[in-house]
Structure 1
Amino acid sequence: MNTSTDQLRVLAADEDQAALARTASVLEALGHHVTATATELAQVTEAVAREEPDLSIVVVHTDDEHALDLIEEITAFADGPVIAMQANEDDPEFARRAAERGIYAAVRGGDRDALQSAIEVAMRRHAEAQRLTEQVGRLETALERRAVIERAKGMLMERHGLTDREAFDRIRAFARSKNRTVVDVAGNVTAGEESLGG
């Protein structure tokens, strides 16, 4: 996934084929590569799977529901962020509904500078969301490992009359002697595959 805002691979989606070409032209003038254009839901899904865009832009004219469906379809399948570009006028209600579907930024009209600013905001927000997701994943993994070790310690304490510290030391010593991790040994203890007695 490209986290820079230079030369992005962009999927453009629009209900209006002529407007779609104009949007692609603006994006290419900004230095981005429009890898796919789509107007229908089936085209969007296929394009996302084929092109794996860094960023997707859905242009909104009059059919808000179609635009929202496009946004929802893209956010379900694409790794990169989605921007809603309102072709006519600002519509706070549409922006709110689009945000609920997963957009990272919204912009009005085809102004190059405004579009580039929206792209930069979307890419930054998306990168931050990815960092938070990775951090949550690491914390969840750490908690899961801790839970396995705690269960193994409890089993050893009950089985062998050990203190909390003695149980942990026994797991750690066994792990070192076998060149394995504490979590691996603890997992085998909880699965009944090793008793660490004696």
Structure 2
Amino acid sequence: MSSRPEPLRVLVANERVDRLDATTRVVEALGHAVIARELNVADVAQATADSRPDVALVALGESSEHALQLISRIVQEAACPVIVLLEVEDPDFIREAARRGVFGYLAGGELEELQSELDIVLARFAEFHNLEGAFGRRAVSERAKGILMERHGVDEREAFELLRAQARNSGRKLVDVAEAVVAGHALLPAKTSASRSTAETS
């Protein structure tokens, strides 16, 4: 990885003006361009569609279903990775956000970690989309099965049944569930016991 990464076009959203300004300063100090700023997180989905940033940094002050709905809207609208900025680390919220397509997060206002997180999330995003483009949906499903096999200690048939069950329970297509597994695998907190089913941190 180069010590001088290519500048990125960044959208920053935070409903606190002081934190919005602080995040903007950090991003610009790292050599990136803040092309859009939003004080209303509810407007981020449209803003990402309009400005087409390389990455969106979205601060969420609450770990709630409303925040997760906003994440879903943003991910659907944005053809870019989304990093969620959390005031307090919440593993359950992070897991669900990952399932909805978030590619990274920062917790506790650790803005000094921003550069490395940007590098990680963009590499992860590119890998995911290269996989999908080169090999199609079947490759995504196969990758998802491999992740589940490794994570849960199951065989291929059982991994496929896990995907099918999740698709059925959530009312989504199997390939959409597989994409969520692949997208969220590297983000989820590491499991602490055999009974937990979180994904490993890459």
Shorter-chain TM-score bucket reads: 0.5 to 0.7
Aligned-residue offset at 1:68: 2.4
> Residue type of the partner of 2:28?
E
Aligned-residue offset at 1:66: 4.4
RMSD: 2.5
> Residue type of the partner of 1:111?
E
Greater Rg over alpha carbons, structure: 1
Q: Distance in 2 between matches of 1:13 and 1:65?
A: 18
In the TM superposition, what whole-angstrom CA distance separates every residue of 1:44-85 from its partner, at most 9, and x where no partner exists?
233112210000111122354443233222211111101111
Aligned-residue offset at 1:31: 1.3
Judged with a 3 Å threshold, the aligned counterparts in structure 2 of structure 1 residues 109 and 139 are, in CA distance, closer, same or farther, namely closer
Q: Distance in 2 between matches of 1:18 and 1:138?
A: 43
* Alignment partner, residue 14 of structure 1: 14
> Residue type of the partner of 2:67?
A
Judged with a 3 Å threshold, the aligned counterparts in structure 2 of structure 1 residues 60 and 30 are, in CA distance, closer, same or farther, namely same
Give structure 1 stretches of 5+ with no counterpart: 141-198
TM-score, normalised by the number of residues in structure 2: 0.59
In the TM superposition, what whole-angstrom CA distance separates every residue of 1:77-136 from its partner, at most 9, and x where no partner exists?
11110111112x211111112112211111123334411111111101000011111112
Q: Where does 1:5-44 land on structure 2 (aligned, <5 Å)?
A: 5-40=5-40, 43-44=43-44
Q: Distance in 2 between matches of 1:39 and 1:65?
A: 20
Q: Distance in 1 between matches of 2:16 and 2:32?
A: 21
Question: Number of aligned pairs?
Answer: 136
Q: Where does 1:1-198 land on structure 2 (aligned, <5 Å)?
A: 5-40=5-40, 43-62=43-62, 64-87=64-87, 89-137=88-136
> Does the CA contact (< 8 Å) of 2:52 and 2:78 recur in 1?
yes
SS at match of 1:128: helix
> Residue type of the partner of 2:49?
A
* Alignment partner, residue 190 of structure 2: none
> Does the CA contact (< 8 Å) of 1:84 and 1:107 recur in 2?
yes
> Does the CA contact (< 8 Å) of 1:13 and 1:70 recur in 2?
no
Q: Distance in 2 between matches of 1:133 and 1:102?
A: 15
> Does the CA contact (< 8 Å) of 1:35 and 1:51 recur in 2?
yes
Give structure 2 stretches of 5+ with no counterpart: 140-202
> Does the CA contact (< 8 Å) of 2:57 and 2:84 recur in 1?
yes
Q: Distance in 2 between matches of 1:5 and 1:74?
A: 25
